[in-house]
Chain A
Amino acid sequence: MPRRKKSDIAVSHQEFHHKDTPAARADEELRISIDDSARTPTMFYFVSAVAWLLIGSLFGVMTSLKFNLPDWLGGSALWTFGRIRPAHLNTIMYGWASLAGAGMIVWLTARLCRAPLQLGWLHYLAAIFWNAGVLAGTVAIFTGYSQGLEWLEFPTFAGALIATGFLLFAASIVQTFRKRNVEHLYVSLWYIMASLLWFPFLYVVANLGIYQGVVQAAMNWWYGHNALATWFTPIGLAGAYYFIPKVIGRPIYSYYLGLLGFWAFALFYNWNGIHHLVGGPLPTWLVTISIVASVMMVVPVMAVAVNHHLTTVNHFRMLRYSPTLRFVVVGSMCYTAVSFQGSLEAIRSFQEVAHFTHYTVGHAHLGVYGFLSMILFGAMYYIVPRLAKWEWPYPRLIKVHFWSASIGILLYVVALTIGGWLQGLAMNDPATPFIEVVNLTKPYLWARSIGGTLMLIGHCVFAYQFFLVIKRAGPRRFAPALFREPAPLKASREGGTTS
């Protein structure tokens, strides 16, 4: 047998084949039975998520093009910027990210609890309610029934459908957690279980509609920022904490660093929202504590970044092989970058330039796309073949997806960061006419549209291959689809399984 490098052996354990011992076989059988219990619910969430991804990113490109071609589709109220932009935001956040995250959570919870999914039938109802809520809310936005509040544009009836779906989803996850067959709770489970408590509290309170005037604005940004803090970021971090060590084949660097990161995250993140209202008619102390909490986010972010980096260190060469690892590591790096950027943006002197400019839009996309969506893509590349029992047929298409998504988001963020900053400086100069500021941003807005189009192309490629896997079509592969094959393992590829 040819001599293997240490990192290649780690790949082989996780992504190629398993050791042939009785314990390993029993472990594999357990994992297969767990996957069987989670298969249909997870795939139900994933299929709807991919559909919303295509719809939402198409809306996103249309929104961006409206900056370049303001008259385009301007003759119909349905397609005006004020409607299509929130439709893009809500379909991506509540359609794509939430449903893909829900699918990942179902599978991860069952795997980490080492127990079959409990009350799996609830997920069918949950997915139906959730999809109906997103569909109803999107139609409502297009027909002019938006609530007009950032991140809360869906009217109450659509919010109620989504909340019902979430509660059904959470009931099954909590029951699976109760029936767990492990003593030790892994870091990913902390984030998942915490988000199941945080997000319903947040969503229900925000949708009650009991706050008016300036408190409504405070509530709006308490919700808007906390939707990231209590739902989307925990999903992303749970995925990163699971898939990085899993693919590499070594434990997370430090449990205690994970503990520090989690509790600092829980303590500081949900105080951040009011930094969106710097300069607004709110008590100074209220804005100041939000700024302080935003800066304090450096603590959990550093803890997570150091933990992930020291887990991955000496194994970076595996990024050449594993699609999951590449997507997830890029996502984790974006988490660090976007979090530091967020702490900086909260500071008053920085906001004097950056607030109300395209800079903020670039920041938001770095978080939701660069961090969260990249981790969700990586998770789906890992989970889907194990559930569909059919490998990704074309590794080259995964590469196309990765590079179009990465170059797209890089172009998008760099263009809007530079363009937004210049826009902010120009807007602060009272001698500069507004039309000159608009003309100044034009090239950056074209770059934004090109970046968005690249991301959309990547999504189409991803969706095409995803539906091939669902249909079990395309060339059949007997080993995981990797970007390239590690040379020492080429000889042992025949007969490999994915589990």
Chain B
Amino acid sequence: MMFVRTFIFFLGVLATVFLGWAALVGVPDAMISEVKPPPGLQRYTDEQLFGRSIYIREVWIRSGSFLGSPLGPRRFCL
């Protein structure tokens, strides 16, 4: 009886987290997979990707609205 109760407990616990993932991530992922890219959409250029890598590396998504970096462009060599 104790084993069954423990098993149901763990099953319930796993079900809650799986449901959360399915609703918040799995379903939107499935929905967006059917979306076709608009005609004429170009891939990022090497220069754009270089800028993007700096943006990510410096975590400017968090800091851009608060502080600018005083660093010059030569500091950003990969």
Is A230's CB within 8 Å of the partner chain B? yes
User: Contact residues of B with A, CB < 8 Å?
Assistant: 2, 6, 9-10, 12-14, 16-18, 20-21, 23-25, 27-29, 31-32, 55-63, 65-67, 69-71, 75
- Known: A74-B70, A148-B55. Contact between A85 and B63, CB under 8 A? yes
Cα of A211 to Cα of B27 in the assembled complex, Å:
12
Q: Are B29 and A215 in contact (CB under 8 A)?
A: yes
A252-290 toward B: CB 8 Å interface, digit per residue (1/0)? 000000000001001100110110000000110010011
Cα of A274 to Cα of B25 in the assembled complex, Å:
10
A189-223 toward B: CB 8 Å interface, digit per residue (1/0)? 01001100110011001000001011100110010
Specify which of A144, A150, A218, A266 is in contact with B24 (CB 8 Å cutoff).
A218
Q: Are A86 and B17 in contact (CB under 8 A)?
A: no
Residue among A81, A83, A198, A219 with the highest chain B CB neighbour number at 10 A: A81
Q: Are A222 and B13 in contact (CB under 8 A)?
A: no
Q: Are B16 and A144 in contact (CB under 8 A)?
A: no
Is A80's CB within 8 Å of the partner chain B? yes
For the complex of A and B, the 5 pairs showing the least CB-CB separation, nearest first, are A148-B56, A270-B20, A82-B58, A82-B59, A144-B57
Q: Are B10 and A193 in contact (CB under 8 A)?
A: yes
The dominant DSSP class at the A interface is helix
Question: Residue on A with the closest CB to B70?
Answer: A74
Residues of chain A in range 170-201 having any CB-CB distance to chain B below 8 Å:
183, 185, 190, 193-194, 197-198, 201
User: Residues of A contacting B69 with CB < 8 Å?
Assistant: 74, 77, 80-82
Specify which of A183, A185, A270 is in contact with B16 (CB 8 Å cutoff).
A270
Q: Are B65 and A77 in contact (CB under 8 A)?
A: no
Interface residues on A, range: 35 or more
- Known: A266-B12, A270-B20, A271-B20. Contact between A71 and B25, CB under 8 A? no
Q: Are B24 and A148 in contact (CB under 8 A)?
A: no
Nearest chain A CB to B76's CB is how many angstroms away? 8
User: Residues of B contacting A194 with CB < 8 Å?
Assistant: 13
Nearest chain B CB to A160's CB is how many angstroms away? 20
Q: Are B57 and A148 in contact (CB under 8 A)?
A: yes
User: Residues of B contacting A197 with CB < 8 Å?
Assistant: 10, 13-14, 17
User: Residues of B contacting A226 with CB < 8 Å?
Assistant: 17, 20
User: Residues of B contacting A15 with CB < 8 Å?
Assistant: none
- Known: A67-B66, A214-B28, A266-B12. Contact between A148 and B59, CB under 8 A? yes
Question: Residue on A with the closest CB to B75?
Answer: A77
Residue among B24, B65, B75 with the highest chain A CB neighbour number at 10 A: B24
Q: Supply 10 A–B pairs (Cβ within 8 Å), ascending by A.
A: A81-B63, A82-B62, A183-B2, A185-B6, A201-B18, A215-B28, A218-B28, A266-B16, A266-B17, A270-B20
Cα of A333 to Cα of B70 in the assembled complex, Å:
42
User: Residues of B contacting A213 with CB < 8 Å?
Assistant: 32
Is A432's CB within 8 Å of the partner chain B? no
User: Residues of A contacting B23 with CB < 8 Å?
Assistant: 271, 286, 289
Is A66's CB within 8 Å of the partner chain B? yes
Q: Are A270 and B17 in contact (CB under 8 A)?
A: yes
Nearest chain A CB to B43's CB is how many angstroms away? 13
Q: Are B56 and A86 in contact (CB under 8 A)?
A: no
Specify which of A75, A148, A266, A267 is in contact with B70 (CB 8 Å cutoff).
A75
Nearest chain B CB to A112's CB is how many angstroms away? 14
Cα of A427 to Cα of B63 in the assembled complex, Å:
17
